[in-house]
Amino acid sequence: MAAIDSDRWHRLSPHLDDALDVAPGRRQEWLETLRGVDADVAADVQTMLAEHRALDAERFLEADVPLLPPGATLAGTTIGVYTLTRLIAHGGMGSVWLASHSDGRVDEAAAVKLLHVEGSSGAGVERFARERAILARLAHQNIPRLLDAGTSGAGRPYLVLEYVDGTHVDTYCDQRALAIDARLRLFLKIVAALSHVHANRIVHLDIKSSNVLVTKEGAVKLIDFGIAEALDRPRQSRQAQSRRPPVSALTPRSAAPEQLTDGVITTATDVYALGVLLYELLTGRHPVPLAGLSAGDLRRAIVATEARVMSTTLADLHRTADLVARIASRRATTPSMLRRRLRRGLDAIVATAMRKDPAARYASVDAFADDVRRSLEGEPLGDD
């Protein structure tokens, strides 16, 4: 693909980000929908998808980081007591590799996260060290364990984590056509992990479907604490060490308004992102209609425009009845029954989590979970 100018990139970027959230088997269908709106953008996105199919797509957009040269690989390299076997993901700060224990006595796969050579100094190292410190504080069944950490012989910091052979939570749900209640039960496992994170005075800051993996056995794992923050760090230290990650390290489509406006970061920031995630799990749609939006328009919508309630979003798709039928079938229901289920409390729950004012959201992820449990138990929470 030919080089693109800044304006064109900003126009394409949100579409590429959205496309990479779609399961590979459904991307052609997604592209056809986009092609009906803007054929030129769809053609560019299709080309970009082909060029970046080997990447962990959402992380690619975080920074302009060169890939390994064609044919180059770290497979076979020994890092600590682990041998790298294959690349799992390549993102803004580093790469993640599947690894095995070098002496062969421990039959447990691990995920080794390596900082890019270009980032092995200054802010990159400081943020990597912060991730290590954060992971060391966490011990929960829904969060991968930190197994080891250090610096390679080549001087690259690394983290060794429990390897999770899982699928993005949205893809997992759709592939199995999980009903609404089953999706809510999975969601509660995500909240349980995040409750543990918050109890340790940490905010994740990057809650999204690709950062929640579900194994074949149904185990849920919240991953990627690369931009997480410890709320109990001294204020002066946070300021001196560039507490905030750059905007380019965020995923705007799941970021809270305060992340995009340099507002105060609290646990309410994660509450908002949980609301976006649940919105997508229940409707298959993003709270903001993404088609045709520039990156700037997307940010303005997230900051200033209240998202439409879920049932209304689905009702507005009445001109694309086939799409609504597919969304409902992936939730083992019909369009009318799906809208009715959403109106019976879930609309209000998600809307509360996604309020623009952090103080108006749920006071905690546990309060959010309590209302989700009430919905599972059939207690009315909103207008029916």
Report the alpha-carbon distance of residue 158 to residue 176 in Å, rounded.
Answer: 35
Report the alpha-carbon distance of residue 20 to residue 57 in Å, rounded.
Answer: 6
Q: Report pLDDT digits (tens) over 19-31.
A: 766 667 777 777 7
Residue 152's nearest CA partner among 83, 213, 201 is 83
253 pLDDT higher than 50: yes
Which tokens go with 5? 């100018």
Report the alpha-carbon distance of residue 360 to residue 363 in Å, rounded.
Answer: 8
DSSP-derived secondary structure letter, 284 = S
Q: Which of 206, 270, 347, 371 is catalytic?
A: 206
pLDDT at 128: 83
Q: Note every long-range contact of 128-132, with CB atoms under 8 Å and residues 24 or more positions apart, other chains counting.
A: 128/93, 128/94, 128/157, 128/159, 129/157, 130/228, 130/229, 130/230, 131/159, 131/225, 131/226, 131/228, 132/157, 132/159
72-107 in b/e form (b: 16+ CB < 10 A) is eebeebebbbbbbbebbbbbbbbbbbbbbbeeeeee
Residue 245's nearest CA partner among 266, 233, 260 is 260
Q: What are the φ and ψ backbone dihedral angles of 164, each rounded to 5 degrees?
A: -115, 115
pTM for this model (two decimals): 0.78
Residue type at position 28: Q
pLDDT category, 76, cuts 50, 70, 90?
confident
Q: Which tops the pLDDT comparison, 53 or 370?
A: 370
pLDDT category, 157, cuts 50, 70, 90?
confident
Q: Which domains does the chain have, with CATH numbers?
A: 6-53 (no CATH), 78-162 (3.30.200.20), 166-376 (1.10.510.10)
Active site residue 206: yes
Is residue 83 within 8 A of residue 48, CB to CB? The reply is no
13 pLDDT higher than 70: no
Report the alpha-carbon distance of residue 143 to residue 56 in Å, rounded.
Answer: 19
Strand order in the sheet with 78-79: 78-79, 82-90, 94-101, 110-115, 157-162, 146-151
SS3 assignment, position 167: strand
CB burial class (10 A; 0-12, 13-18, 19+) of residue 68? exposed
User: How much of the chain, in percent, has pLDDT values that exceed 70?
Assistant: 77
Q: What are the φ and ψ backbone dihedral angles of 84, each rounded to 5 degrees?
A: -70, 135
SS3 assignment, position 221: strand
pLDDT at 151: 85
pLDDT at 65: 36
Q: Which tops the pLDDT comparison, 90 or 246?
A: 90
